């Protein structure tokens, strides 16, 4: 997802009248009401399209998918996600409730992940919803990957041409050693972020249906543009350079460049295919955001270089020790008085109520959110606060329902 | 995973694969596989239906309207042929619902 703990926040359940559902509802309500300038087709930021036999036009700033069948398959998986949330998950929750009652477990009692694993092994019925969700997720990815691989030369040529074009820069590092932690197929996306040449294409279109089913439309980057709009700036008002760590397909990077057109904006990501797609997309929109293949824990930028450093749903996709290194790197490259705002889920806590822990477990294990349990084993906000940043109190949430982590680099 | 039909640089590297396909969620791996198959078949079915909607829309712009399609009355021969095809379709896709399995996999022939 973006780097998304896909079900963790989506565990809508009558059983869980708890923070998770509250966060999701809050976010859904928020995104159902926002209006993003230029989001309608044909307005500023509209893509100009690409040449080639597979062009099917544009929908605002989104290039339409390359074939009608692919578009329809994605349309189906979106509908299935929505139906799953409304019906299948409810049935699974009911099965879970029955299991808890049979086992005499209080549904509000915090359990560890080990306790939940033991519990769910006793009743396949509660896993039916997970199986359906995962099968649909696999189809989402497979249809996209198949399409791009069937048309590989065309799309590789398109990226090659864009690699050298502007207005923004692209820096690839093919000799860079990719750490093992970043080579996993997060969200069971085939190839993950580094292993498929079309990782960016696949991720972008695959996550569109995810966003629609969970938060609201994002085909015009509505959610990322909203986040960029909420991004706080340094007290002195100076914003010359911005860094977006773990930028994925560059949606937040581009949105930040749109908000701060005079600033030098960089999006970095470990995945070469991800930054290539990010750059291609930005170039197509005529937006001068820059992209580089870099590790967030070792950016190579000079000390005190950036006025704003941010990231979006990156930290839950890396081990806790890497997160600590990333925070240290952010502290190094953020100028005194500059803003550091890592956007990610609320974290902290290795025990929670059974239904929520079940969601966390299966998302971690079977949706391949390899590092999410480590993420929840620490408190990201506290980690940042301990490393040379001052937290701004009563700050605004850049992403409703997520952790509010507005920090200022201390002098 | 390298792109299959291109010699162009990919900037991709080897990923660590997930083992999601080895998961058994329903107590029987065949059930797991069937669920995946059913969802995939429905994705294809919807894809086909959606293509037909596009075709109808395109045809309507060329004069073959939805109204014409909806009001079309098949000939007697068409009606017979279509009913036969419908029955074959139902039998093929849903006939297994009438199966009455009760023998364990290890059961030998009742008689030979």
Cβ separation of B15 and A194 shorter than 8 Å? yes
Q: Which helix (H) or strand (E) holds A111?
A: strand A111-112
**Closest to A197 measured CA to CA, from B3, B7, B16:** B3
Does residue B42 sit at the A interface (CB-CB below 8 Å)?
Answer: yes
Q: What CA–CA distance (Å, rounded) separates A361 from A158?
A: 40
Mean pLDDT, rounded, of chain B: 87
Mutation to test the B interface, candidates A80, A137, A156, most B Cβ within 10 Å = A156
Residues of chain A predicted below pLDDT 70: 1-54
Mutation to test the B interface, candidates A76, A185, A361, A366, most B Cβ within 10 Å = A76
**pLDDT 10s digits, A319-372:** 999 999 999 999 999 999 999 999 999 987 888 899 889 999 999 999 999 999
Does residue B97 sit at the A interface (CB-CB below 8 Å)?
Answer: no
With a pLDDT cut of 90, the percent of chain B lying above it is 51
Q: What is the model's pLDDT at position B67?
A: 87
Cβ separation of A152 and B4 shorter than 8 Å? yes
Q: What CA–CA distance (Å, rounded) separates A75 from A86?
A: 17
The reply to whether omega before A167 is within 30° of 0 (cis) is: yes
CB distance A275 to A251 below 8 Å: no
Alpha-helix runs per DSSP H in A123-250: 128-150, 152-163, 199-214, 222-230
Between vectors from CA A107 to CA A101 and to CA A112, what angle results, nearest 5°? 110
Chain A residues close to B43, C-beta within 8 Å? 73, 76-77, 80, 139, 143
Chain A residues close to B20, C-beta within 8 Å? 134, 138, 188, 366-368
Q: What is the model's pLDDT at position B3?
A: 58
List C-alpha distances in Å: A195 to A66, A329, B13: 22, 26, 5
State pTM to two decimals.
0.86
Chain B residues close to A72, C-beta within 8 Å? 46-47, 50-51
In A294-388, beta strands by DSSP E: 306-312, 334-343, 351-352
Strand partners of residue B102:
none
The shortest C-alpha distance from B79 to chain A (Å) reads: 30
Mutation to test the A interface, candidates B43, B52, B54, B55, most A Cβ within 10 Å = B43
- Taking 90 as the threshold, does the pLDDT of residue B108 lie above it? no
Banded pLDDT at B71 (limits 50, 70, 90): confident
Q: Where do we find the tokens 């070792």?
A: A298
Cβ separation of B27 and A192 shorter than 8 Å? no
- ipTM, interface predicted TM-score of the complex: 0.78
Chain B residues close to A276, C-beta within 8 Å? 11
> The tokens of A287 are what?
């937006």
Cβ separation of A72 and B51 shorter than 8 Å? yes
Residue A83 contacts by C-beta under 8 Å, 6 or more apart in sequence?
A: none
Q: What is the model's pLDDT at position A76?
A: 94
Strand partners of residue A241:
A264
Chain A residues close to B14, C-beta within 8 Å? 183, 195
> The tokens of B1 are what?
């995973």
Q: Are strands A58-59 and A170-171 parallel, antiparallel or unpaired?
A: unpaired
Cβ separation of B16 and A199 shorter than 8 Å? no
């Amino acid at each position: 997802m973006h780097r998304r703990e896909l079900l963790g926040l989506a565990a809508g359940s009558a059983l869980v009248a708890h923070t998770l559902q509250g966060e999701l509802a809050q976010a859904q309500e928020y995104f159902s009401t926002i209006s993003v300038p230029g989001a309608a087709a044909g307005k500023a930021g509209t893509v100009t399209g690409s040449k080639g036999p597979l062009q099917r036009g544009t929908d605002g700033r989104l290039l339409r998918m390359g074939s009608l069948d692919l578009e329809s398959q994605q349309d189906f998986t979106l509908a299935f996600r929505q139906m799953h949330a409304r019906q299948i998950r409810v049935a699974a929750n009911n099965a879970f409730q029955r299991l808890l009652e049979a086992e005499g477990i209080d549904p509000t009692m915090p359990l560890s992940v080990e306790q939940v694993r033991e519990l769910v092994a006793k009743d396949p019925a509660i896993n039916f919803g997970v199986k359906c969700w995962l099968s649909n997720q696999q189809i989402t990815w497979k249809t996209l990957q198949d399409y791009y691989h069937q048309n590989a030369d065309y799309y590789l040529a398109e990226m090659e041409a864009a690699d050298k074009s502007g207005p923004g820069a692209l820096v690839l590092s093919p000799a860079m050693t990719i750490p093992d932690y970043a080579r996993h197929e997060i969200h069971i996306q085939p190839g993950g972020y580094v292993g498929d040449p079309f990782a960016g294409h696949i991720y972008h279109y695959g996550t569109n249906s995810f966003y629609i089913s969970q938060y609201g439309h994002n085909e015009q980057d509505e959610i990322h543009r909203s986040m960029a709009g909420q991004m706080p700036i340094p007290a002195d008002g100076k914003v010359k350079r911005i860094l977006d760590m773990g930028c994925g397909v560059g949606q937040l990077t581009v949105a930040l460049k749109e908000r701060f057109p005079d600033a030098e904006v960089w999006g970095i990501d470990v995945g070469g295919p991800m930054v290539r797609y990010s750059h291609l997309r930005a170039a197509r929109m005529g937006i001068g955001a820059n992209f580089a293949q870099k590790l967030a824990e070792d950016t190579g930028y000079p000390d005190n270089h950036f006025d704003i450093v941010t990231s979006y749903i990156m930290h839950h996709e890396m081990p806790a020790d890497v997160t600590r290194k990333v925070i240290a790197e952010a502290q190094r490259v953020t100028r005194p008085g500059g803003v550091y705002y890592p956007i990610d889920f609320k974290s902290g806590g290795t025990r929670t109520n059974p239904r929520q822990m079940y969601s966390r477990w299966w998302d971690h294990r079977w949706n391949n959110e390899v590092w999410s349990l480590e993420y929840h084993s620490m408190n990201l906000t506290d980690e940042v606060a301990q490393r040379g940043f001052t937290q701004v109190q009563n700050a605004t949430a850049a992403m409703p329902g997520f952790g509010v982590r507005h920090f200022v680099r201390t002098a | 995973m390298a792109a299959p039909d291109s010699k162009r640089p990919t900037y991709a590297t080897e990923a660590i694969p997930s083992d999601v396909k080895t998961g058994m969620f329903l107590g029987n791996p065949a059930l797991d596989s069937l669920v995946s198959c059913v969802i995939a078949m429905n994705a294809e079915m919807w894809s086909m239906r959606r293509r037909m909607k596009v075709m109808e829309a395109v045809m309507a712009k060329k004069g073959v309207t939805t109204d014409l399609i909806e009001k079309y009355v098949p000939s007697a021969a068409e009606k017979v042929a279509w009913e036969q095809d419908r029955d074959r379709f139902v039998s093929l896709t849903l006939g297994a619902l009438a199966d009455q399995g009760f023998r364990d996999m290890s059961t030998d022939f009742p008689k030979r």
